[in-house]
Amino acid sequence: MIVAERKPFEEIKEKIKDYKKVLILGCGTCVSVCMAGGEKEVELLASQLRMASHMDNTGAEFGEDTIQRQCDREYIEPIVDKANEYDAILSMGCGAGVQLVASMLEPKPIIPALNTRFIGIAEDEGSWSERCRACGNCLLDQYGGICPITICAKGLTSGPCGGSTLDKCEAGGDKDCAWALIYKRLKQQGKLDNIRQMAPLRDFSRQAHPARQVSEANLAPRT
């Protein structure tokens, strides 16, 4: 899932200081799961902003709404009329959601309340870690289901750098060496021959930006 975190409160206040009527728009999918931009987070931020507005005597008004996904047009369309009643939208969606909302409500200002961090997994309650760089050419089967491009601090795909100590990365902290993890996993699977093979050169054309994908089913002629 996409993992994000809320921007510092003072930064959010600064971004919306020129607007008197702001709609705080949450997203009910990824950022809701990582407790950054769901309905509860919208309510909390709205309460904080109203309290700050009262204390600073700015007279600003704040509305609240949360849709299922900000990255999907069909969920944005029902709130267009409501959004047009406000001077600006404070989006609690990921970067993709902010951009689609901005496109559909143009030229209304859409202000991000979150910082989008990475594609990751839930490790424990309230803890997430990066697992995917969205490189466009997945080779996880070759590495025992462990991504060296993401997990290795240097993104090495043909073996370790030689700088690890006791299976820990030389980058420091308690970071595991990705290639120690890969070795152990391939050994368990009986596939250590994989680690002896030179990885193909990375096809960086797969990471050309902005990327686009169209379903073949939508390209087929309709009868």
Residue 132 phi, psi dihedral angles, 5° rounding? -145, 135
Are residue 114 and residue 141 in the same domain, yes or no? Answer: no
Pairing relationship of beta strands 21-27 and 88-92 according to DSSP bridges: parallel
Which residue do the tokens 């991504």 mark?
147
Residue 155 confidence (pLDDT): 92
Q: Are residues 26 and 77 in the same domain?
A: yes
Integer Cα distance of 47 and 82 in angstroms: 20
- Residue 206 is predicted with a pLDDT of 76
Cβ-Cβ contacts under 8 Å for 204 (sequence gap 6 or more): none
| pLDDT of amino acid 172 | 79
Size of the chain, expressed as the number of residues it contains: 223
The per-residue pLDDT for 87 is: 98
CATH number, domain containing residue 75? 3.40.50.2300
**20 and 75 belong to one structural domain:** yes
C-alpha R_g of the chain:
22
- Domain total in the chain: 2
Q: What is the pLDDT along the chain (223 residues), one digit of tens a residue?
A: 999 999 999 999 999 999 999 999 999 999 999 999 999 999 999 999 999 999 999 999 999 999 999 999 999 999 999 999 999 999 999 999 999 999 999 999 999 999 999 999 998 888 999 999 998 888 899 999 999 999 999 999 989 998 999 999 998 778 999 999 999 999 999 999 998 888 878 777 777 778 777 877 766 665 5
Tell me how crowded residue 128 is: count the other CB atoms within 10 A of its CB: 21
Q: Which residue has the tokens 């510092």?
A: 8
Residue 114's domain comprises 2-118
- The count of other CB atoms within 10 Å of the CB of residue 159 is 15
Regarding whether 108 and 7 lie in a shared domain, the answer is yes
How many CB atoms lie under 10 A from the CB of residue 157? 18
Write down the pLDDT at residue 114: 97
Cis bond leading into 8, ω under 30°? no
CB atoms near residue 164 (< 10 Å): 19
Kindly state whether residue 149 falls inside one of the protein's structural domains.
Answer: yes
Q: Do 103 and 42 fall into the same domain?
A: yes
52 and 141 fall within a common domain: no
**129 lies in some domain:** no
